[in-house]
Every structure is written in structure tokens, then in C-alpha cells.
Structure 1
């Protein structure tokens, strides 16, 4: 990390109620060491663990605690706090705070600031593993990620409760510092760029009720579109049939078949970056029927298959309007890296993002992904991460290649 990497950046730290609140004091010190100007909102619950005096002594600023402070609210102080900042960090972000954020509640100073802000927000969750795994928390986290909220952690380890361990520890101050730096320095890395993303499966009709399809939820492609939009790009997302929420701030083009997807891609060129994350069906029925094929005494009908257009190879091989960076995805069940290398050469693209989608991995339709970045220069393997985190790291990588 470079010296003074956050010089003069204004950061508002919201400190929730939890034993991890003590880490916020170290976080403040590290933010200030990097040149940031830090102000803090200490929730009522947070003040049960650390004092306003301790927080104020390290920030060197007044600590804000109440929505109904007469001096502050004469000039709508919560709005000033929400807007007079470059980044809001919530650490620790308790289950209660995440629930308030996900549902737009505003019944104290912290939650009101979070509803009123238009600045980037980074949260560092901290709670008991069972609370983190609870269906309500999972639902709230999913909503917040789709709203563009950035996450760092939680980590796995021992809890404050005796004998308890698991996923729920707040990320360490240095991790939060690195995440804050990434948000602030790369937040607009793709400003002025056009990024085209394909996502989801394609559905190739056999008849009006049957089809050939791939098992793709679209979560990784949609996360990439959202991350590119947060990085300042104009984003066109060409999506096959999915049941997940549309990412905010992107143009959505909905298609069904591989041929429709290729047509949409070509219509929305030129683009600076083209990311082909969709799981396109390799084949379609040569003669799809207009009426339902009825079961007969002779057994299953014979289906004649033909190849679908190769979207990745078609765009990578263009002489005109070829995007500067063409990225393909390789979903493999064996020999992942070897197959990805062969695909890179065969398709003519610049990068392949490869992953193992064997049933045991849980990647297809799941929330995490473990990828290998394959290029002519070599292979870089990443650990298992949330698909949103994979997307953020990929977009940072792509932006650095432009």
C-alpha cells in the first residue's frame, strides 16, 4: 500500500453495537495514517462497548450520536453527514444494522444517514455465525449487494461467546483499510468506457413447452455488470432468461436464444470491453416444432441438432469494432485449466475466466465462485469468493488492462 493512499479523503465511520466495536479504534488510526479525514457516528448500542470520548480522541473530531441533537439538526445535520463524505464505512455492521439498511429504515442517526446518502458504502459485518447464516440475514445481504453496497468479510474464527466459532468475525482493520482504498481509488476506473456483458443461459426451443438449456443462474454475469457500473462504465447487459434481480444502473437487453444473443451483442457494439459470461447452449434443434410433440407408441422422437453460433469466437475474430478486451468464460467439470488454455487459443479472445462447475463445487446457482484467470502470459488462480467479490476483482483487473 502506498504512503498516504487516502490523503484528504473524507470518511464517515458508523460504529455498530458489538464486541468488535473495539476494532474500530484501530481502524480509525489506520485510516488517519493514510491521510484520511475521519468522522464517526457511534450508535447507542455501539456506545455500550466503546465511549464517544475514546472515538473522539482518535478521530480528533466531534463524535455524532443522536438524531435529535438540537445543535446539529437546526441545519439538518444528518443530511450533511450523509453528503459531506467520500465514503461511509459501517464497522461493525450488526445484523440489526444490515436489516435496517436492506429495508430502508431510518429511526436513528446511523440508519437515517445511510438512507440519506448518495455516497459509496462499505460494510464490515460482525455477528454470531448463526445470525450470519440466518435466512433473514442472507436475504438482507443479497438485497444490499444488489443495491450496490460493498462488503468486506466476515471472516471465520473464534467468537466472543465461549466455545463458538465460525463465519462471522469482523474483517481486520487492515482488510477494511484495503477495501476502502479499493472503493475510493477504483470506483470510477471505467468512467467513459462501454462494457458489454452477456449473462445467464439461453433457451433453445424443441417445441412450445420443451427446450435445451444450461444450468446457469446468471449471478456471476449480473454481478460483473453491477461492478462495471459502479466503476463508472456505461454497461449493456444482454441477459438470457434468469430469475434474479436486474442490477442497478445498467441497460438490460433480454433474449432467449443464442442467435438472439449474438444479434443483440452485434447491435450494441462498439464496446471497450466485452465479457461473455453467459452459458450459451452449444446446440439447438434443427426443426423446432410449432405445436407440442406428443408422446407416441414408437418412443421418443429423433431430434436433429445443429450448432449454435459461437458468440465469443465471432466477436473476438472481428476486424471491425472488435472490443479492446474480449473476455470469455469456461465452465468445466474436469481439466479446468487445460481446457481453458485450449479455449483461449481456439476462440481468439484475450482472457478466459475458468471455473470448476462439477456438482460437488456448488458453483452453478450458488453464491461463491473459484476462478482461474487464463491468458497468454499464464494462469492466476483465485480463492473461493462471493460472486460479487469475484466480479469486483475482475473489473479492477480489466480496468487495469485498458
Structure 2
């Protein structure tokens, strides 16, 4: 009897401990999703300043040159007079420094590093740059730190790490830095980013840039386990002034009913989100494609990527020709061209749907994602084009216009991308 009483009394603290532990876990609030509003850059422009089809085409040609430059850390050349990240960009609000200073940053899935225009920058066009001297947590990045070697085109001006890059008629340089980055309610201390100090030629970044790629300086890498290598976005129409999308960081709150396709890794372009596209369908008909048009080849860079910075989907020449010809056959109206678009119509028509097929997933585009309308007049064009001749023409780019009003989920932790229909509002 005494033995039983002693055993009961000695076990009481353990019972109490596990009871309290259970209560703590049961009452703990689950982590809410980190969600940022996505704003089309065009919402900051007047209607007369919205990009024309010619400007969209020029932007995308420059973008593909930039994507091509990622292969061997080459400097990218952009067409003279074409502002980089001025058309087709989607912005999110962030705060940099202590106390936090509000900045708009363009989200870019094909870039790793972050850049912000800093006060005193010569040639920067941002009227409210980051006042780094007013931040108590701002620190220049020392040359010996690993982030210096990870930054593109970096060099050491002892003891501080600097960078420079050239884009045709434009170039910029600055200081690699560390400071606090706040996104919604999350704060990432000692975030490595570029502090722009000088821009010559055409301004290349009127706002900051937030890299969402797969490399060591990207948001996913620098956030550690906070977002578990997962994010998604829903992009609103770039011509819309009333709709906004969302950037959702981390696995919480992501769609559960969604199909996925595996991510592929290209060692020559480790930042890019490669997937295996297997077929393209126009209406109910699969177009006839040579296997080489869609094949993934890390050596040449061939394959298919998802990219937020290219505006209109670009297909390699054989794939585009097959899609274009079938599209024209379905419309059966006189064809004209406008700028870089060779499949345009001036008469009203109902476009067929177009579907992209991937391993384990297919995405059928709604009609508003298939055609693009001229800002002036009644011309409507197929919202796709062939890769320009002056760049690596072996990569297919699933661009932001075709991604609009879809939730695109980048689950890097499980090496996959998912797409589901979602209206951004």
C-alpha cells in the first residue's frame, strides 16, 4: 500500500507537465500565411503610358537576352532605350532598415539577389530611395563574407564588397550590404542586398528588385527555414488598375487541390525554374512538334522555364510555328502583324484555348490569356512569339501574361511547381 502511494505521488509532476504541455500546444495559434499584395507596375502609370505591343516585344527580347546571360555569368545586353524592369513587372511592398523604410520591389523568379536604390545614388530615378544612413542596422558587406562571392559581378574594394553590371546603354554599380528586410509581419535580419550608388545611361531600376530564384542570395535561401523553400503568387492583369494579386510565402495557406510537375535542375543556370513540357494543344488538337523543341538539355540550356519577368510566352521557332499555324487555321481570318507579333487580326473572333502539357500536369489557358489587345485600335494578336534570333533560342519561357489569374506554387523543398486557376482580386 505504501509502495503504491509513493508511486502515485512521484508520477504526479510528470502528469502535470504533460497536461500543461498539451494545453500549450492546443492553445497555440497556428502560424498565419505571410501574404503580400502584388501590384502591377502599370497601375503606377497613366493610361497613355501603358506599354504598347511594340514596347512589350522590346521588353521581352531584352529579357531573353538577360536570361541567356545567366548561363556563364555573362553581362547582359539590353536594347538601347528599353528600360529594364519597367514593363511587365509586378511589385511588392517591403521595408528595409531600422526603422523600416517602405520600398516597392519588383519580384523576379529568374534572379537571386535583391537591389535597392540608395540615397545619393547618381542617376537613380527613384524619388524616394533607401536612406541607408538613417538605418541603425545597415552594414556594408565585408569582402571576406561568403555573400560577396555569391553576388553577380562582385569585386573587392577593400575591405568592402562592391558590384557592377552592364545592360547595353545602361550600367549600375553599388555596395553589397546587410540590413533588415521586412515582408508583411516577418523580419529577416542581416539580409544581403545591393545598395545602388550609380547608374549611367538609361535608368535600369526605378524601384528595388526582390530575387525569388533558387540560388544562395535569393529570398528563399536567405530566409532559412522560415518559408521552407516555398512560395506562390497569383498575378493580376498588368493592364488592370483595380485588381491586385498576392505573393504568399511559406507552405501555410497554399492550395491543396493542385497538380504538380517536377522541377528540373540545370547546373549552368541553377537560378531558373526548369520544368519538362511534353506537348502543346490548340483547341482539342495536339500540334505536331519535333522532340527537340521541348527536350531538356542542361548543356545547351534547352527546355522550358517559368519566368515572372517575361511578359508574353516565347517558344522556340519550331514550337511557335506549329502553334501559330494551328491557331491561324482555327481563326480563318485575314492575318496581319503588329510589332513583333505576326498573328494579328482586325476583325472580332473567338480564340481557341491553348494547353501546355507537362509531366503530371497540364494548364489550359483561358481565352483572355491567349490573345493580347492593342492599346489603340481594334487589333488583337496571339499572345505568344518566337524567341529572338540574337539569343539562345532553345529555351521556352512560360511568361507572366499566360500565368495571370493562376496560382503558381513554387515548392522548391519538394522540387516541384504547381498551377491552379485563381482569379486575383
Q: TM-score, normalised by structure 1?
A: 0.23
Question: Could you state the TM-score of these two structures normalised by the residue count of structure 2?
Answer: 0.22
* Structure richer in helix, relative to its length: 1
Q: Higher relative contact order by CA 8 Å / sep ≥ 6: 1 or 2?
A: 2
Structure with bigger strand share is 2
